[in-house]
């Protein structure tokens, strides 16, 4: 007979303890250990043993044959870009995002595009009934005989349906609703999510079927459940954006078959998500020209250059300690750059409140935006508007120097394509590449030199 016992599992990192603790020793989160029931003994061990034909044997590396994986193309170029060129057969992809942001809408549209190419698609919904999924499909104008809908949460029944149907594409919406009968914990717990994802990975690899699973997001913005879930899958996509704004960003943070940090831009309309092929024009269409504190930077999102506007507002403080606030960039980067401006350039910023924002809702985390942020702060402080046709690219060091950045050619080409006339870049990046004929390059060694060029 199987015996049952209780254990306490952290819902953030998966740490297990025989007793409850207020603070998790693994990730130091408070009140994250939840009680789960596990079965021990013969019933938990199972009776299945693999046959000799199913047992893998080690092979010499030089005897293994490799070939280019054929990718399944969708009609969305942005979605193909994020995945590294298309969907890889046999891959397991996790997509997460805030509730109501459009995860199910995107996957239903992708399912329809594949189904119209006579590929059998199985859409498994654990949160909605077949009728609810049908109503959403009608709003999106989707109606095809190759798209099958199944409302099921039992992993065994799902596996049997996949084996019987052998579809070309599977969507699980969502992984937190799926449960495995052998695991005594409730659906959505660490044990259930881990075991269900492991079983789906086995199904994807054995049957060579691409499977997309939807994951809930916690209030901190990460995938619900332990980080182990992200390590198990082949690719992790994050769906970003505000629910009350039309633009959505699909960002790749892990991809075993392509580049990470790729970004796809979509716009939410009545007929669903529509891809934005030139996001730089969208981010700059409402830019402020001739206004102090506004600069343009060419940032790299994966392999794509994107031009965005950085705005800064510097005003005298009314508090004992000046405020430093930032949206779209690391908050710690603002006081660091202000300290460089105060020490190396001589700007008295210690009694000034600073507010920095990346327009358009984009999040930038690369060091090449340092120069644009610094010039925005200096421009607002001096109340001098930079030239509207300037693009600023460069990393700023603590000694005030402007350091070399990667992929300068793609950044400058994107700026020239959008009509900018001058690019202020590190002097170390001036040589070794072909400069477009319709844009002027200005190489700078320090922040002070860049301010003299842009705010003269």
Domain of 100, CATH number, reads: 3.40.50.300
* Tally of CB atoms within 10 A around 320: 5
Beta strand extents in 235-351 (DSSP E only): 235-240, 247-255, 263-269, 272-275, 294-301, 304-316, 324-327
Domain match, 358 and 261 both: no
Q: Is residue 103 part of a domain?
A: yes
In order of 97, 388, 410, the CA distances from 416 in angstroms are: 34, 13, 10
Q: Is residue 64 part of a domain?
A: no
**Residue ranges of the alpha helices (H) in 288-369?**
333-340
What is the pLDDT confidence band of residue 278, given thresholds at 50, 70 and 90?
A: confident
If one counts the domains in the chain, the total is 3
The per-residue pLDDT for range 378-390, each reduced to its tens digit, is 999 999 999 999 9
* Tally of CB atoms within 10 A around 399: 10
Q: Does 359 or 124 have the greater pLDDT score?
A: 124
Domain match, 118 and 215 both: yes
| Domain's final residue, options 256, 276, 296 | 276
389 marked among binding-site residues: no
Residue 46 has pLDDT above 50, yes or no: no
Per the CB < 8 A criterion, the answer to whether 237 and 93 are in contact is yes
Q: Is residue 86 part of a domain?
A: yes
What is the pLDDT confidence band of residue 367, given thresholds at 50, 70 and 90?
A: very high
> 440 is in which domain, residue-wise?
282-454
Domain match, 355 and 397 both: yes
Domain match, 185 and 331 both: no
Q: At a CB cut-off of 8 Å and minimum separation 6, what does 327 contact?
A: 356, 357, 358
pLDDT, residue 334, reads 95
The per-residue pLDDT for range 166-216, each reduced to its tens digit, is 999 999 998 989 999 888 778 888 888 888 999 999 999 999 999 999 987
Q: What is the DSSP letter of 176?
A: G
What is the pLDDT confidence band of residue 33, given thresholds at 50, 70 and 90?
A: confident
pTM (2 d.p.) = 0.76
Q: Average pLDDT in the 128-132 region?
A: 92
102 marked among binding-site residues: yes
360 marked among binding-site residues: no
41 marked among binding-site residues: no
Q: Is residue 52 part of a domain?
A: no
Domain match, 359 and 373 both: yes
Q: Is residue 65 part of a domain?
A: no
What is the rounded CA–CA span in Å between residue 217 and residue 295?
33
The per-residue pLDDT for range 315-358, each reduced to its tens digit, is 999 888 899 999 999 999 999 999 999 999 999 999 999 999 99
- Nearest residue to 299 via CA among 388, 374, 240, 365: 365
Domain match, 136 and 259 both: yes
CA angle 338, 344, 350 (to 5 degrees): 40
CA quadruple 388, 394, 396, 402: dihedral sign: negative
What is the rounded CA–CA span in Å between residue 213 and residue 171?
6
Q: Is residue 58 part of a domain?
A: no
Q: Is residue 128 part of a domain?
A: yes
Domain match, 216 and 127 both: yes
Torsion-angle region of residue 311: left (phi > 0), alpha (psi -120 to 50) or beta? beta
* Cα atoms in the Cβ-side hemisphere of radius 13 Å centred on 31: 0
The per-residue pLDDT for range 209-246, each reduced to its tens digit, is 999 999 877 655 555 555 668 888 999 998 887 655 67
Q: What is the mean pLDDT of the chain?
A: 87
Q: What token pair was written down for 226?
A: 């332990």
Q: Does 17 or 185 have the greater pLDDT score?
A: 17
* Residue written as token pair 């397991």: 92
Q: At a CB cut-off of 8 Å and minimum separation 6, what does 413 contact?
A: 305, 436
397 marked among binding-site residues: no
98 marked among binding-site residues: yes
Secondary structure (3-state) at 60:
coil
Domain match, 349 and 264 both: no
């Amino acid at each position: 007979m199987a015996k049952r016992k209780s254990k306490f599992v952290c819902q953030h990192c998966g740490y297990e303890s025989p007793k409850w603790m207020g603070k998790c020793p693994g990730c130091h989160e408070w009140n994250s250990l939840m009680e789960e029931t596990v079965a021990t003994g013969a019933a938990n061990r199972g009776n299945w043993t693999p046959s000799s034909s199913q047992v893998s044997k080690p092979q010499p590396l030089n005897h293994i044959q490799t070939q280019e994986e054929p990718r399944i193309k969708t009609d969305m170029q942005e979605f193909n870009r994020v995945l590294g060129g298309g969907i890889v057969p046999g891959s397991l992809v996790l997509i997460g995002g805030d509730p109501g942001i459009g995860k199910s809408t995107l996957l239903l549209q992708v399912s329809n595009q594949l189904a119209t190419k006579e590929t059998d698609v199985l859409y498994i919904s654990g949160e909605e009934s077949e009728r609810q999924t049908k109503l959403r499909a009608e709003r999106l104008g989707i109606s095809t005989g190759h798209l099958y809908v199944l409302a099921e949460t039992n992993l065994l029944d799902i596996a049997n349906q996949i084996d019987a149907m052998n579809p070309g594409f599977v969507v699980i919406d969502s992984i937190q609703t799926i449960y495995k009968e052998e695991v005594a914990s409730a659906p959505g717990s660490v044990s259930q999510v881990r075991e269900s994802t492991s079983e789906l990975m086995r199904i994807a690899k054995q049957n060579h079927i691409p499977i997309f699973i939807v994951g809930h997001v916690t209030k901190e913005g990460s995938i619900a459940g332990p980080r182990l879930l992200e390590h198990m899958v082949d690719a992790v996509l994050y769906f970003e954006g505000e629910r009350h704004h039309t633009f959505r960003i699909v960002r790749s943070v892990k991809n075993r078959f392509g580049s990470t940090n790729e970004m796809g831009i979509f716009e939410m309309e009545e007929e669903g998500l529509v891809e934005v092929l030139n996001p730089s024009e969208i981010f700059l269409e409402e830019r402020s020209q001739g206004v102090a504190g506004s600069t343009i930077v060419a940032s790299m999102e994966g392999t794509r250059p994107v031009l965005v506007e950085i705005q800064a507002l510097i005003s005298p403080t009314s508090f004992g300690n000046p405020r430093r606030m930032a949206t779209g960039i690391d908050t710690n980067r603002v006081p660091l750059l202000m300290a460089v401006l105060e020490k190396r350039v001589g700007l008295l910023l210690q009694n000034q409140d600073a507010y920095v924002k990346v327009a358009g809702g984009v999040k930038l985390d690369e060091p090449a935006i340092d120069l644009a942020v610094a010039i925005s702060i200096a421009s607002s402080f001096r109340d001098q508007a930079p030239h509207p046709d300037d693009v600023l690219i460069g990393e700023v060091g603590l000694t005030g120097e402007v350091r070399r950045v990667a992929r300068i050619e793609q950044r400058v080409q994107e700026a020239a394509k959008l009509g900018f006339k001058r690019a202020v870049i590190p002097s170390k990046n001036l040589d070794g590449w072909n400069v477009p004929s319709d844009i002027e390059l200005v190489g700078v060694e320090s922040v002070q030199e860049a301010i003299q060029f842009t705010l003269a």
